Structure 1
Amino acid sequence: MSVTQAAEKEIRSVTKTKRVLHILLKIIVAVVIAILLFVAIVYTVNKISSHSEQKRMEQYGQHVSVDGKQMNVSIQGQGEETVVILPGFGTAAPALDFKPLIAELSPNYKVVVIEPFGYGLSDQTEKERSTANIVSEIHEALQSLHINRYILMGHSISGLYSLSYVNHYPNEVRAFIGLDSSVPSLSEQKIDSTVTKPIKWFRNLGFARLQLKLSADPYKGLPYDEQTQEQLDILIRKNMYNTTQLNEAESMYSNFKAAEQLTFPPNLPVLFFVQANHPVTDQWIPEHEKQIEESLHGEMVLLDAGHYLYRSHSKEIAEKFRGFMRGIQ
């Protein structure tokens, strides 16, 4: 091959390489533009939808002043005894979410549902989501309502907060009822800002709404009327991954650790409703049994249900609860 032919071949090779690189660059630019356009659409749809939902959001319950902010509380029923219900982590609208159970309890009890800061229609807060602060805020809300003697009922993580609560205010709590409540020995994984910061971006850009759109409806087939489901959907989108709840997630590991040495007072009646088949651990039932082994009035009821067992088994829970309370009169 002559020098001229070799040079021509090299030129063609370089030209071909440039052409390929040019095409690849165009593809990369097109992909970047498509991604940015997709993000812009998701962001815009979320902003418009949030504005529309804000107008359709209905008020319920009443506000009480706690630590200079407004906490929402729902009170139903006229019974002589009071049941105070506390939600699990991330429950978007506790007063609506507990509606099936409230309907079963309210004919016999005054039912008070607390919506902690960052939940339901309550304000958010920048205050640390330690167990001590959460317990203090709940107690302040009840004091504002002049509720001084009550049965405490907590779902999931509220079981952990309630463990501290009943030790701080033993003369106020008549009994504790756990709804698949958390136990200190089965701790959540540690979460810090390296996890929550990307989630904040995810929420602020509108992808939380897209995630919900692609997820299964948690209330499908359950006893919630159409209006309640619509409001639940609105409040799920409003509160999902909000700053207060993400702060609570960051505090969760230390809250579990702080509760490891706590026990229920032996003379406090304790009734647990526990899912019979936990999807992750085989220690769920044994660890709940340990919590009541020293209790003078301790009982556990196993239900063939998921973690949100009060949604699907409200009638059964209410019946067993009433029987349990009659037994400790």
Structure 2
Amino acid sequence: MRAGKAIVRTSLRRALIVAGAVGTLLAVGLTTTTVVNAVSTETEKDRIETYGRTVSVDGRSMNVVVSGEGDQDLVLLPGFGTASPALDFEPLVAELAQDHRVIVVEPFGYGLSDGTERARTTDNIVNEIHEALQVLEVDRYVVMGHSIAGLYAIEYANRYADEVTAFVGIDSSVPGQPNMDTVFPTGLLAAAKNLGLIRLVAHASGDGLDGLDYDDDAREQMSLLSNRNSLTPTYLDEMNRIRTNFADAAGTGFPVALPVLLFVVADNAGNPDWIDLHESQAAEVDDGTVIPLDGEHYLHHTHAPEIADDFRLWEADRRLLVD
């Protein structure tokens, strides 16, 4: 009996020693990643290269990049959380700027733009983008948007119907798409960033741009800006409001007279109704077109020439140019 109790005490003691060792290793590991993250964040500031120009919006600096000198203005808007819209869109801009003036707007919290304490509601985001374009004296233009920009663009096109001549979506979000009522664990994500875990995961997983038309400098800058911009208070506020922004957009659509062209992932394994949702959206306007493309959500990474060429053909059949 005494021998049995001794074995139990010995096993318990060993378990406590192991648990203590594991706890110590975790504490040391988290301390290390926290320190590395803080030091890296500070040193990376000087490695971020400027591009584009800033305009004053609501007393803050918003970054924009203007390329090309064509007769038609084309405004590019990013998907949620894009670290650097200007660099992310670079292959597509190179194609479109051959015969268009292309304006990439980096909303607050994106790219080189400032963050903001203003709520990331659709209403505020739309107002801010429009204010930036007003500063640039851009008043007649096609809006081309990726992902959640498609949701914001609905409000934008209805509010500024006298300015927007068409909408072009790149696997753009649609009101009523499923699973947009998710409550994100933003508190945990913020803690993970502060502990350096997000940086660690990003380093281990890579940037997903191997074999694509981005040079080493662009990839490095996107990585630096991703480390800077991801999971900031501005980012987290927009993430928190995805659910309510989609709820507010329920039942809305583009103006009936607005030409709409939608480039859509042909086979969305996570949403078998993805094409149907976009075809329904296109059917709500007088002139709606859906072009399915094989690929993944960031179609402009892999199909930039095709998107530009198909857009030109579609545009040529419509009176979108400013007289």
Shorter-chain TM-score category? over 0.9
Cα distance in 1 for residues equivalent to 2:6 and 2:264 = 71
Matched, 1:53 2:38: no
Distance in 1, matches of 2:300 and 2:17, equals 55
Structure 2 residue corresponding to 1:320, chosen from 310, 313, 322: 310
- How many angstroms does 1:15 deviate by? 4.6
TM-score by length of 1: 0.93
Query: Which of residues 69, 82, 92 is equivalent to 2:73?
Result: 82
> Is the Cα contact below 8 Å between 1:190 and 1:250 reproduced in 2?
no
* In the alignment, structure 1 residue 246 sits paired with structure 2 residue 227: no
CA distance in 1, matches of 2:134, 2:208: 34
Which residue does 1:281 correspond to in 2? 271
The answer on whether the counterparts of 2:267 and 2:294 sit within 8 Å (CA) in structure 1 is yes
**Aligned residue number for residue 192 of structure 2:** 202
* TM-score where L is the length of structure 2: 0.95
Gaps of 5+ in 2: none
Post-superposition CA distance 1:183-237 (Å, at most 9, x none):
00104433447x1101100011111111111214321110011111111111111
Aligned 8 A contact 1:151 1:177 in 2: yes
- The alignment yields a C-alpha RMSD, in angstroms, of 1.5
Q: CA deviation at 1:13?
A: 5.0
One-letter code aligned to 1:311:
H
State the aligned residue count. 319
Aligned residue among 44, 67, 70 for 2:61: 70
Matched-pair contact (CA < 8 Å) for 1:188–1:252: no
| Cross-structure match for 2:154 | 163
**Separation in 2 of the partners of 1:57 and 1:44?**
20
In structure 2, the residue matched to 1:28 is 19
Once the two structures are TM-superposed, the CA of residue 18 in structure 1 deviates from its matched residue by 3.6
Q: Matched residues in 2 for 1:199 and 1:213: separation? A: 16
Aligned positions of 1:4-15 closer than 5 A = 10=2, 14-15=5-6
Which of 269, 275, 287 is the aligned partner of 1:297?
287
Contact 1:77 1:111 in 2 (8 A): yes
Q: SS of 2:175's equivalent?
A: coil
CA distance in 2: counterparts of 1:175 and 1:147, whole angstroms: 15
- Alpha-carbon shift at residue 126 of structure 1 (Å): 1.9
Q: Measure how far apart 1:16 and its partner are.
A: 4.5
SS at match of 1:217: coil
Q: Which amino acid aligns with 2:191?
A: W
**8 Å CA contact retained: 2:264, 2:293:** yes
Unmatched segments (≥5 aa) in structure 1: 1-8
Q: Residue in 2 aligned with 1:41?
A: 32
Shift of 1:52: 2.5
Equivalence map 1:108-119=2 (5 Å): 108-119=99-110
Matches within 5 A, 1:178-197: 178-192=169-183, 195-197=185-187
Structure of greater Rg: 1
SS at match of 1:291: helix
Equivalent residue for 2:130?
A: 139
Identity %, equivalent residues: 43
Report the residue type matching 1:34 in the other structure: L
